[in-house]
Structure 1
């Protein structure tokens, strides 16, 4: 049975060699697999007489539906997906290396703060900077370069990044110029133990949190028509994780600033007594 099925698939009239599997994702891939299976079963004269929906398949063969789900998830991971995720890991590694080199005299906590700040600045200047340029001279969707491919991958989860959405471009312009510069200034303030360290840190964190809120709130209000949450990669990795860390870390840094400022305020009072 299995050998006959593979033979039918190999010589099938659908001419599979002309199908670009990397361009088929999510439900399109699942529907394609279902259609292929049904076509093959019919040509074999099988006993199944299902029609064109995967719903009918799930009633007759849950294991087949699970197989199609797995194949659909596998189709999400194209070469661009892997390279994009590896690029993010590489940026973090560079930030970590910079923090170890220039923050060797700082406390352990501040060294991790430096890791984040270097990573933050690298992302703003090397990823979001080119995005702003591409969006001002055209848009990501029509651009043809390595960084455009990375943003096209993210655009599968939020298509506003593909077509120069005014709100997104405005926020990113502010993020690159202001947040990137503040991140580097804060790196200097921490390494040199400057008195304005927490003023800059609070300002940067508020800017980051404001940027995150304004990135998603306008789309939430109108029902999130531009967000694709149909699978775990787009929802939990692209949308939640890669945006959530710019909420979590600034929140923790605000708490650190509040704690340190309170300590500095209490210490002179105890000294005067």
Structure 2
């Protein structure tokens, strides 16, 4: 009786294997616009990314040692972090924010890197509102401010620790929300954006993002500690000056008379 409907309806994949043949991302059946599979191997992509990061760190260490040899080791390490972090925020995450509507078919280096990472979080291929807004804020704010932090550290600028606290707290806040929204969808809505292989969850999703909680957490603690010590020293100096003022009083001839 309804044969004409069957003929008019295009055939659809019926099994998980059929759906994964369309694309490899989860949840099964999620729509990825204009998807094209990567033509670079995972090993090559990760190798290029690791080599790029190593090159940035090596060049930054060399230039910092030449420009500011007086910096302590911990300050040089902070410069390394903010240079690498700023580069990833501004260029890599900025790439996603600008190209989010065409990520499924992107075949340039950054596009293929994002598609590989999306094995652990397919929201990067669906213009998910939270991920898009979070990454845009990260690229626009924390990227440029990370490079400003390098200048502040090298010049020992008085705003170094306040800005370090702001950038670090922003990175931690974005990362916590990133984890939280994914976990909320997983447990409350039964939506899983990560493939079932443990590698994608523990290495891509957890470890590679957890770095932006651990290191900013250390820098945030350093900012709080240094700021507290500075105010403590200022309070002691203020009390000392007030005490000296109370212990002296001027004479009529202009000389100071000790009490």
TM-score normalised according to structure 1 size: 0.66
Aligned to 1:95: 57
Q: Which residue does the alignment assign to 1:264?
A: 230
Match in the other structure for 1:129 = 94
Structure 1 segments, 4+ long, off by >3 Å, are: 23-26, 268-273
Displacement after TM superposition at 1:226 (Å): 3.5
Whole-angstrom distance in 2 between the partners of 1:234 and 1:243: 12
Which among 111, 125, 142 is matched to residue 179 of structure 1?
142
Q: Contact (CA 8 Å) 1:158, 1:227: kept in 2 or not?
A: yes
Show the counterpart of 1:82: 43
Partner SS, residue 104 of structure 1: coil
Deviation at 1:212, TM superposition (A): 0.8
| Aligned pair partner of 2:118 in 135, 150, 155 | 155
List gaps (5 residues or longer) in structure 1. 1-22, 27-77
1:216-270 CA distance string (max 9 Å, x none): 2222112262432522320121011110000111100011111111221222344
Distance 1:132 1:182 in 2: 18
Aligned to 2:183: 220
CA distance in 1, matches of 2:109, 2:182: 28
Higher RCO (C-alpha 8 Å, min separation 6) = 2
For residue 191 of structure 1, report the CA deviation from its aligned partner: 0.5
Instruction: Determine if contact 1:80/1:149 at 8 Å carries over to the other structure.
Output: no
Q: Which residue of 2 aligns with 1:112?
A: 77
Find the aligned partners of 1:105 and 1:202 in 2 and give their Cα distance.
23
Distance 2:186 2:162 in 1: 37
Partner SS for 1:183: helix
Does the aligned pair in 2 maintain the 1:99–1:118 contact within 8 Å? no
Deviation at 1:119, TM superposition (A): 0.4
Question: Which one is further off, 223-232 or 197-206?
Answer: 223-232
- Aligned counterparts of 1:170 and 1:24: Cα–Cα separation in 2: 25
Query: What is the aligned length?
Result: 198
Cα gap change, 1:187 to 1:159, in 2 (>3 Å): same
The one of 231, 236, 244 equivalent to 2:197 is 231
CA distance in 1 between partners of 2:78 and 2:58 (Å): 10
2:176 counterpart of 1:203: no
- The CA distance in 2 between the partners of 1:96 and 1:256, in whole Å, is 24
Q: Which moved more, 1:98-107 or 1:174-183?
A: 98-107
Q: Which of the pair is proportionally richer in helix?
A: 1
Q: In 2, are the aligned partners of 1:157 and 1:228 still within 8 Å (CA)? A: yes
Between structure 1 and structure 2, the one with the greater Rg is 2
